[in-house]
Amino acid sequence: MARWVNRIGLALGGLLVVAVVALPAVVGIRPIIGPKARPLTDRTFDRTPQRLERGRYIATSTSGCLFCHSEMDWSGPVAKPGTEGSGRSFAEEGLPFLNTPNITPDPETGAGAWTDDMLARAIREGISHDGRTLFPLMPYTQFKYMSDEDVASVVVFLRSLPPIRKAVPPSAVPFPVNRFINAVPEPVTAPVPERDRSNQVAYGDYLVRIGACRDCHTPADAQGQAIPNMEFGGGFVLTSPLGTVASANITSAPSGIPYYTEDLFLEMMRTGRVRSRTIHGYMPWRMYGQQIDEDLKAMFAYIRTLPPVQHRVDNSLPPTDCPRCGLRHGAGDQNKPVDD
């Protein structure tokens, strides 16, 4: 028995040596030593009425902060009243290891003891208050484009939330994913200016980024990497108590939304309907639809500039293997490989 224990110990030791030597050669050293993270500063953001209002607008209608950091009423789906910012589990959405933290100002179970820069770093750089890498469902790869003034406004708004005493367990991202995600965060060290709102397309690009539209409307491979040349082409599969649905192709390709007009886009965002068709409930149109007309029009102006991606996604049909994106979704078998 002892001999077998020794043999197993030697085998495991050998595997450990191989892992230590080989893994960095394959994926780089960053997943092993931890994420890139800038040192925290003691900066604080002035609590002004303008920032409070702007932060409320971003967090509740543009970026989805409260959509992800609140318990969900799936009959809406909207945040359950009284839970705004208190965090939740994503088990119902197929990610049982993932929890979003309580970001209300409760000092013991929430963000009350976190500094302003801890919050700003988490939002734009994907580093939690305790130095861990945030799972990239938190769209910090898009939020890194958020202007300094807008991130300050979001922090000011979060500080204004009613404190909710609710302990949320930290996420337990499984190995080796918990190592691979260490390569994702990038420190934001240069000033990020506000976007010129007079340039409608550029400002629309900004709103689409902080709305994380790319993350849902671009298919990703098993490692979570966006599939090349498929940006906004749809097919990303989402799971919730409302069922499983693949995101739509929102480019101007024939298989996308070439028939959308500005008025139809605004109507869809306001009502959740495209003429007689109802948008799937997992699309948070109730949140996005709270934006002002000027911002929704800017988003549409940018979307109209997207390169067309020929990729049919139809949730009314049974899921089938798609040779175009490599995933499985409705009308997948009606697509052609990229080289055809």
Peptide bond just before 163 cis, omega within 30 deg = no
In a domain, 63, yes or no: yes
In a domain, 27, yes or no: no
265 and 230 inside one domain: yes
- pLDDT interval class at 19 (50, 70, 90): very low
Kindly report which listed range (28-32, 214-218, 263-267, 308-312) carries the lowest average pLDDT score.
28-32
Stated pTM of the model = 0.89
Residue-level pLDDT at 162: 98
The residue range of the domain holding 162 is 49-183
In a domain, 1, yes or no: no
Average of pLDDT values for 67-74?
Answer: 95
316 and 253 inside one domain: yes
312 and 236 inside one domain: yes
Number of domains into which the chain is organized: 2
Peptide bond just before 176 cis, omega within 30 deg = yes
If phi > 0 it is left, if psi is from -120 to 50 it is alpha, else beta; for residue 327 that is beta
At 122-169, the pLDDT tens digits run 999 999 999 999 999 999 999 999 999 999 999 999 999 999 999 999
Residue-level pLDDT at 36: 94
Q: How buried is residue 170: exposed, middle or buried, by Cβ count under 10 Å (0-12/13-18/19+)? A: exposed
pLDDT at 114 over 50: yes
In a domain, 225, yes or no: yes
54 and 179 inside one domain: yes
Domain boundary among 153, 183, 213: 183
d(CA 126, CA 181): 10
pLDDT at 216 over 80: yes
218 and 309 inside one domain: yes
In a domain, 111, yes or no: yes
pLDDT at 32 over 80: no
Average of pLDDT values for 106-131?
Answer: 98
